[in-house]
Structure 1
């Protein structure tokens, strides 16, 4: 999944990076993973940035990210921090 964001910023290297509110987006689709239409919401597409890179805890492209959509994170199977839930003692 790639990134769609509400804003854009340019670091010293000169490449365009996402800023503000970020959502997961699949290239070729007209909406985000959580169902928001890109054009109507005014979101910019970033096909060169992976959605996992916009996590402020671990990502390298998250310097100007203010909010990451929790519904998009759930749709991509990721969670902020911690490990995934597993059943430790399943019933037979």
Structure 2
């Protein structure tokens, strides 16, 4: 069974583009309808062994939590 690898984008059934607006055919992206978005997440997904990164715009479009930012504010005011 094929699994996603590399950079992962979210895709909704019935459309020919990703959630962030990239066209699947022009970008050379492949659909994996048997894999859910939660299973493609590198931190918790079971099908994400070869996933290197997740598109931030697609993650935001699918309802990723805002507190999952990779940065943290330290001493916001001098």
TM-score normalised to structure 2 length:
0.80
Q: Which structure 1 residue ranges, 5 or more long, are not aligned?
A: 1-14, 83-92
Higher RCO (CA 8 Å, separation ≥ 6 residues):
2
Q: Which residue of 2 aligns with 1:55?
A: 41
Q: Which residue of 1 aligns with 2:6?
A: 20
> Normalized per residue, which structure has more strand?
1
In 1, the alpha carbon distance for the partners of 2:51 and 2:29 equals 14
Q: Which residue of 1 aligns with 2:53?
A: 67
Deviation at 1:79, TM superposition (A): 3.6
Runs ≥4 in structure 1, deviation > 3 angstroms?
79-82
Change (3 A) 1:79 1:54: farther
In 2, the alpha carbon distance for the partners of 1:79 and 1:59 equals 16
Root-mean-square deviation over aligned CA pairs:
1.6
Q: Which structure 2 residue ranges, 5 or more long, are not aligned?
A: 69-78
